[in-house]
């Protein structure tokens, strides 16, 4: 039986691959594990059946036999632990790759997410512009340090790993802000990851869901 993941029935990012099911799809593609996708509406996400999978009523979730997981990082880690290809065999290198996953989720992603929140949820407040400037500075601090560490290497620590996968997916959300462009080696890093065939397949799959949802909405009019 293939694992089942959940994704937005109609993604608010309009198929740009920014929703967090993308990182799970991408990890599964990297290791060659097919999956089934259960699409959920915003309403269904907040209902008990989905909250039993994710107490916060969010996507993505992951079901495999008796195992039900939420949190994209935990799901990617599980996939990477179960299959070859996303974590090195050497114990120390493996732990360092996992540390990069945590860095992506705990150090890099939070201010990026805050920027989106400030724009979307607080865009009409008198203090928004100042807040956005402050968040951008925090993001620059993180990107500057990440850029220095990456240097001229292809990936964060040796071969491409789950750490790079989660990091790149967190960085992708920054593209429209122009902030990433201030760090050419990070732009190249993201482009290198996007060029991976597994990324391309995962991106096409989530985009097809959005295209179908648009088609359905037009036909219903
Ligand atoms: N930390 C969680 C965050 C999950 C999350 O924010 N999911 C978003 C989609 S990317 C969602 O479901 N948003 C709808 C909502 O919160 O109602 C993870 O990494 O899985």
Question: Which ligand 1 atom minimizes the distance to the CA of 20?
Answer: 10
- pLDDT for the residue numbered 221: 81
**Protein residues with CB under 6 Å of any ligand 1 atom:** 19-20, 45, 57-60, 71-73
Mean of pLDDT values over 66-95 = 98
For 43-68, what is each residue's pLDDT tens digit? Answer: 999 999 999 999 999 999 999 999 99
Question: Which ligand 1 atom minimizes the distance to the CA of 56?
Answer: 16
Q: 58: CA distance to ligand 1 center in Å?
A: 5
Angle between helices 184-194 and 162-172 (to 10 degrees): 110
Mean of pLDDT values over 155-183 = 97
125 pLDDT more than 90: no
> Do residues 193 and 199 make contact, with C-beta atoms less than 8 angstroms apart?
yes
Does this model's pTM top 0.95? Answer: yes
86 pLDDT more than 90: yes
Angle between helices 197-220 and 21-31 (to 10 degrees): 130
Strands 4-8 and 36-40: what pairing? parallel
For 183-204, what is each residue's pLDDT tens digit? Answer: 999 999 999 999 999 999 999 9
107 pLDDT more than 90: yes
Q: 60: CA distance to ligand 1 center in Å?
A: 7
- pLDDT for the residue numbered 44: 98
- pLDDT for the residue numbered 47: 98
Helix (H) / strand (E) containing 4:
strand 4-8
13 pLDDT more than 90: yes
Mean of pLDDT values over 84-107 = 98
Q: Which residues of 15-155 form beta strands (DSSP E)? A: 36-40, 61-64, 67-70
Q: Which residue's CA is the closest to the ligand 1 atom numbered 2?
A: 71
How would residue 135 be classed by pLDDT, with cut points 50, 70 and 90? very high
How would residue 170 be classed by pLDDT, with cut points 50, 70 and 90? very high
Mean of pLDDT values over 108-136 = 93
User: Mean pLDDT of all residues in the chain?
Assistant: 97
76 pLDDT more than 90: yes
Residue 51: count other Cβ atoms within 10 Å of its Cβ. 14
């Amino acid at each position: 039986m293939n694992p089942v993941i959940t994704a937005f029935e109609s993604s608010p990012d309009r198929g740009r691959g920014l929703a967090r099911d993308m990182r799970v799809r991408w990890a599964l593609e990297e290791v060659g594990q097919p999956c089934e996708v259960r699409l959920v509406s915003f309403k269904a996400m907040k209902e008990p059946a989905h909250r039993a999978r994710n107490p916060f009523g969010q996507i993505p979730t992951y079901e495999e036999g008796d195992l039900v997981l939420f949190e994209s990082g935990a799901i990617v880690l599980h996939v990477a632990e179960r299959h070859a290809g996303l974590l090195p065999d050497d114990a120390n290198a493996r732990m360092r790759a996992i540390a990069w996953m945590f860095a992506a989720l705990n150090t890099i992603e939070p201010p990026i997410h805050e920027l989106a929140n400030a724009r979307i949820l607080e865009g009409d407040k008198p203090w928004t512009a100042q807040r956005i400037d402050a968040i951008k500075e925090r993001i620059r601090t993180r990107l500057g340090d990440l850029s220095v560490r990456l240097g001229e290497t292809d990936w964060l620590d040796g071969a491409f790993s789950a750490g790079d996968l989660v990091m790149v997916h967190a960085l992708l959300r920054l593209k429209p802000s122009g902030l990433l462009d201030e760090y050419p080696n990070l732009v190249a890093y993201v482009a290198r990851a996007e060029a991976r065939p597994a990324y391309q397949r995962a991106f096409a799959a989530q985009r097809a869901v959005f295209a179908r949802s648009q088609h359905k909405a037009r036909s219903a009019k």
